[in-house]
Amino acid sequence: MSSKNNRPNQRIGRADQDRIEDARQAMMHELWHMRALRTVRVSDVFMRLGREEFAPEVAVEEVYAAANAVVTKRDEHGRAVSSISAPQIQAFQLEQADVRPGMRVLEIGSGGVNAAMLAELVGDTGEVISIDIDPEITAQARRLLDANGYKQVRVETADAENGLPESAPFDRILTTVGCWDLPPAWITQLTDGGRIVVPLRMRGLTRSLALDRSGDRFVARSAETCGFVEVQGAGAHTERMLLLYGDQVALRFDDNNGPDNPHTLGGVLGTERATAWSGVTVGGMESFEDLLLWLASTLPGFCSFAVADDYNPDERAPHLVDAGQRWFPTAFLHSDQASFAYLVSARRDEGVFELGAHGFGPAAEDAVATMAAQIRNWDHDHRGGPGPQISVWLYNTPDKAMIPAGDPEGSVAVFDKHHCRVMVSWPTPAG
């Protein structure tokens, strides 16, 4: 496939072209180092495509920064509603999708640059259709694609919840917005042997899943940690936020696992803070994303701990952490529904941090001990392991039909959505 992105831009000077090429080469090196890029096919597309042409008002260094997303539109509250995903995320999603020449691909969430890369991958015999609910975004994507030689990409304004039935079926459905649920339309519009790549939110944690049909369920062949702007329209899902200290500190519940009566947490930050350390340490640059999913799987009241950037504790507002400590946006509501604990770390040595929990409420001691115990369980049974198997089932599938598909001796959690049930199955501990 030919496009103007396959040759130097004649409108800019040699010095700027050298600057762009340096930024591109640095990005490519980092993407391979991150293992976001894994195949030559996808790597070649990144090398050919001029990202700067799809974000002309953004500095070259920002456009080519491997982990940098470029916000293209914000709502009236300043919240991002559309963006060009970071190259790192685009790369691993394209690797997850495994798009081949001749395929028909539906992209959900328009921007231009990702659709252009999909067009390169499907070639002259394939087809790419990009949809977005926002006509301003689709109009911009259309302009950018036309200007860069990708007139063959179709761009439609539509609600992602419905897919695009008049153009189905699709070999691949690639979603570039965060989703809480899996709409039935995507399943019915997929070919046999097709694949859905979707950033799916589970208890507030988002993983980009490469979902393949396996009998009566979809099985994730890979799961990548990511963050996306949230889907709009019929598929939008609002978290339940429980304010604990004005608008400065809150618990956010992604599923129906919050307190029955939110008033039971009134004044909880005025109680004495409890602490439990797990004895489990991590390196300063070490990822422990699997731990967060493990806690979401094993702590029924799992939620997000949200603290305003300008939170300034005084005699009325408690210190959430002490000097040398750090809090994480990971928490859970104790079964008494009047206490909670949240994940923290403390520096123990140069580049070494111990994980633990702080908590508040009448059952805070039990809450922090429970979280610390689950940290130890993860460390003993699953740290460094293959991680969980994630599968998606129809909403009316009974538990007894789901569990045998997982590891009956392992730990299984089921997150219920409107249209589906998501099962996270952890393997039996070795030994």
**Which position has the higher pLDDT, 258 or 393?**
393
Asked whether the predicted pLDDT for residue 8 surpasses 60, the reply is no
Asked whether the predicted pLDDT for residue 409 surpasses 80, the reply is no
**What mean pLDDT is predicted for residues 115-121?**
98
209 vs 110: CA distance, rounded Å:
19
Residue 169 preceded by cis peptide, ω within 30: yes
Strand blocks (E) in 169-247? 170-175, 190-202, 205-214, 217-225, 240-245
Q: Which long-range contacts (CB under 8 A, 24 or more apart) does 408-415 make?
A: 411/297, 411/298, 412/297, 413/296, 413/297, 413/298, 415/202, 415/203, 415/255
Q: Tell me the backbone φ, ψ of residue 245, rounded to 5 degrees.
A: -150, 90
186 vs 170: CA distance, rounded Å:
9
Q: Which of 49-58, 75-84, 88-97, 309-318 has the highest mean pLDDT?
A: 88-97
Asked whether the predicted pLDDT for residue 110 surpasses 70, the reply is yes
pLDDT at 7: 45
Asked whether the predicted pLDDT for residue 77 surpasses 70, the reply is no
**What mean pLDDT is predicted for residues 165-172?**
97
Asked whether the predicted pLDDT for residue 6 surpasses 50, the reply is no
pLDDT range class, residue 70, cuts 50, 70, 90: confident
At 100, list the tokens.
């081949």
pTM above 0.85, yes or no: yes
390 vs 419: CA distance, rounded Å:
16
- Name 378's Cβ contacts closer than 8 Å, sequence gap at least 6: 280, 290, 291, 294, 295
Q: By mean pLDDT, which of 76-85, 165-174, 368-377 is the weakest?
A: 76-85
Active-site annotation, residues: 85
The answer to whether 158 and 137 have CB atoms below 8 angstroms apart is: no
Q: What is the mean pLDDT of the chain?
A: 91
Region label for 361, one of left (φ > 0), alpha (ψ between -120 and 50) or beta (otherwise): left
Asked whether the predicted pLDDT for residue 80 surpasses 90, the reply is no
Pairing of strands 190-202, 205-214: antiparallel
Asked whether the predicted pLDDT for residue 10 surpasses 50, the reply is no
**What mean pLDDT is predicted for residues 380-385?**
93
**What mean pLDDT is predicted for residues 378-400?**
93
Q: By mean pLDDT, which of 200-204, 325-329, 396-400 is the weakest?
A: 396-400
**What mean pLDDT is predicted for residues 399-423?**
82
Q: By mean pLDDT, which of 9-18, 182-191, 367-376 is the weakest?
A: 9-18
**CB-side exposure of 266: number of CA atoms within 13 Å?**
4
**What mean pLDDT is predicted for residues 398-405?**
80
Asked whether the predicted pLDDT for residue 82 surpasses 80, the reply is no
Q: Tell me the backbone φ, ψ of residue 237, rounded to 5 degrees.
A: -135, 125
pLDDT at 229: 87
Asked whether the predicted pLDDT for residue 2 surpasses 50, the reply is no
pLDDT at 234: 94
Q: By mean pLDDT, which of 263-272, 311-320, 411-420 is the weakest?
A: 311-320
pLDDT range class, residue 56, cuts 50, 70, 90: confident
pLDDT range class, residue 377, cuts 50, 70, 90: very high
**What mean pLDDT is predicted for residues 95-103?**
98
Asked whether the predicted pLDDT for residue 50 surpasses 90, the reply is yes
Asked whether the predicted pLDDT for residue 61 surpasses 80, the reply is yes
Cα torsion for 180, 186, 187, 188, to the nearest 10°? 150
pLDDT range class, residue 159, cuts 50, 70, 90: very high
**Which position has the higher pLDDT, 9 or 171?**
171
